[in-house]
Structure 1
Amino acid sequence: MNRIEAFGYIAAQAARGDISFPTSVNAVLRLQRALNEPDCHLEEAIRLVLGEPQLAARTVALANSSAFNAGGKPITNVRAAVTRVGYRNLQMLVASLAVRQFGSCIQDPDLRSKAEQLWEHTVQVAALAQVFARRVTFVNPDTAMFAGIVHEIGAFYLLMRADEFPGLLDDDEDRWGELCEEVVTREVGRRLSLPDPVAEAVFELRGGWLHMPPTSLLDTLLLANLYASIPSPLRIEEPLPDHSESALDYLVDEATLHEIIDEATELSGAMEQAVLV
């Protein structure tokens, strides 16, 4: 089938809820469901985290980042790390593991390279969103970081499916991929049980307008994408709105902006522990 037919086929599957995840993603989703159970207490959460080495390593790394370790006292075990980062950030890490696993089954070297770049972009946006939330928009920073982690879930899924349809995402000037991704994002988001505020911000991100002063979760994601130095490999670069970057000058000075970017860089380094397998 040609590219338009392939996009239509993938979108139609998604629209009727026919989304196929790799075995590794399904395993992470089982972990997510267990952690989301109301009666999942600390001991059970620790046991579940210890059962997933990548998650354990990333939980300890995040607990030792400046965002969670202002006192500088190092964390060396999962129990202390889970206690420090809290359940909400633990759920964010589980979601990041699920997103990361989408690239695990890609065979095509070019698509794997795109998946690597998309992951680096995702982590950078998540870290920037967390810091912008704390220092500029004043939305919940944990929610902002979670939204950053899942904001490209549709793109990850399309990269995985593109392995079945060679050339699917090449030179997509007509943006059929973006139309397909919108449908896919909603269904993948539903399968990942995204909270409503996060899902709404992610769905509205493409074409979203940055408000001044920025105060919403959507504004936070838009700012994070604006200042991310690593672009998504599936996005066509567009001119920024006239008001966007310059208007931020009225909210933060250059020194503060550098501090925000430095904080986000340190945080993204703590988050980016896993590699594609």
Structure 2
Amino acid sequence: MDRKSIRPTSDELKRFIPLQALNAQQLDLLAGVAVIRSARPGEVLMELGSDDNHTFFLLQGSLVLDSADRQRLEIHDDDASARSPIALLRPRKYRVVAHTPVRYVLIDNAYLEDIARSHGATSGVEGYEVSGDLANESTAFEDQLSSLMLADLKQDRLQLPSLPEVALRIGRALEDGISDAHKIARIIQCDPVITAKLIKAANSAFYGGRNPVESCAAAVVRLGGDVTHKLVLSFALRELFQSDSKQLQKRMRELWKHSTQVAAICYVLAKKDTRFKAEQAMLAGLLHDIGIVAILNYARNFPDEAMHAQVIDQAVQSLRAEIGGMILNQWGFPADFVIAAVEAEAWMRDQGDVPDYCDLVIIAQLHSYIGDNRYQHLPSIDEVPAQSRLALGELTPHMSLKILEQAKDRIAHAESLLNL
């Protein structure tokens, strides 16, 4: 059989992210025009700088990608990156060579464009029509990431982060009415890292007594069940802010830094407005951007070369609130936390006279941006309705700076607590 007559099946095409937005009819049409090719080890699939009009997907085997600056990548068919097109950008940024015997799908981009135009395909296909300059490619990927993630979300295919087991077990124990410090400590001690952090927290400037505690049970007694639970949750969440992609890990570190800063400011503001529980305020601040963790994890499915800042920013802007609310609902958090995640950037939200934790998160975020370039694009603290509901005194930008200055030690302590 001539190799050009070997066609992929619809199921083979559905494994690739940009084609998952196609319906059955569109997949059948594409399967009829796509071809499967084979290559021997050492055979070149594409040259660096070429401007061909095809999209490549790896079915079997492994490839080596060499860039102009001598960076080398190796892609195996079971890697997450193999679910996306190989070396998509044109002119090509890599020379692609078969490392082992490989099979790959080759699609003429003209067919993708025809299907998108004639059959109403979503940007799942259109996102891969674009060739030429990097700006156009970035715009296409922005749409691609957001639209595919939304489609997976609506069809219940999106994998959301799971709450760490130790936090779940303590939550269940407290719900069951268990208050014995030794029983709670036994649960915590299943995680030695969190155990050490809890003892350090109990001896910190926030909670330390006259004599230091040396055991987990003593720490639980000093802190109490509710504070222990909130702190364990906070410590356990740190492990979710991780990625195996160097590029996305940088975003995770920035996100953790922002979240801990907002959490620390929430803690300090809650101490000034005693209608709030300080640890609950801190946790609400820490969780307000949890949706972005899921977005960054989803972005791992895309090739690193496509992960420009604007791609992530577009998906974050579109989906962070909805996904954050879903995660906290799935984890069983109270409505206060869900609302804070969903509406944390609804700067002008006006919910009457009674303050809530979302008000604290909004004010804490605006405080965190003072001195940052982003602040000039945001409303002034004295303009947002949240400030009038909180018992924090007159909050002008000048007074906010004064508050931050007066509380800088407490904010620093709270941040260090979350980074034990």
1:191 aligned to 2:330?
yes
CA deviation string 1:66-114 (max 9, x = no partner): 2223x4543322112112222223222333344322234x221121121
1:50 aligned to 2:189?
yes
1:157 corresponds to which residue? 294
Of the two, which has the highest radius of gyration?
A: 2
Alignment partner of 1:74 out of 212, 216, 222: 212
2:176 corresponds to which residue? 38
SS in 1 for 2:310: coil
1:263 corresponds to which residue? 410
SS in 2 for 1:171: helix
Contact 2:284 2:361 in 1 (8 A): yes
CA drift of 1:122 comes to 1.4
The one-letter code sitting in structure 2 at the alignment partner of 1:202 is A
The CA RMSD measured in Å over matched residues stands at: 3.5
CA deviation string 1:165-184 (max 9, x = no partner): 23356214983432122221
Higher percent of residues as helix: 1
2:272 corresponds to which residue? 135
2:365 corresponds to which residue? 225
The number of aligned residues is: 268
1:85 corresponds to which residue? 223
In structure 2, list runs of 5 or more residues that go unmatched.
1-17, 19-126, 128-140, 388-393
> CA 1:89 to 1:174, structure 2 compared with 1: closer, same or farther past 3 Å?
closer
CA deviation string 1:125-182 (max 9, x = no partner): 1121011011147422122112012111101111122112233562149834321222
1:8 aligned to 2:147?
yes
Contact 2:259 2:288 in 1 (8 A): yes
Which one is further off, 264-273 or 168-177? Answer: 168-177
Contact 1:66 1:72 in 2 (8 A): no
1:102 corresponds to which residue? 240
2:262 corresponds to which residue? 125
2:27 corresponds to which residue? none
> CA 1:66 to 1:16, structure 2 compared with 1: closer, same or farther past 3 Å?
farther
Q: Deviation above 6 Å: which 4+ runs of structure 1?
A: 229-232
Identical amino acids, percent of aligned pairs: 22
1:112 aligned to 2:249?
yes
> CA 1:226 to 1:237, structure 2 compared with 1: closer, same or farther past 3 Å?
closer
Contact 2:296 2:312 in 1 (8 A): no
Normalising by structure 2, report the TM-score: 0.55
CA drift of 1:44 comes to 2.1
The one-letter code sitting in structure 1 at the alignment partner of 2:257 is E
Normalising by structure 1, report the TM-score: 0.80
CA deviation string 1:214-262 (max 9, x = no partner): 9432221122212226999xx9665231353995149968665423222
2-side partners of 1:14 and 1:98: how far apart?
A: 25
1:147 aligned to 2:147?
no
> CA 1:28 to 1:117, structure 2 compared with 1: closer, same or farther past 3 Å?
farther
Contact 2:252 2:293 in 1 (8 A): yes
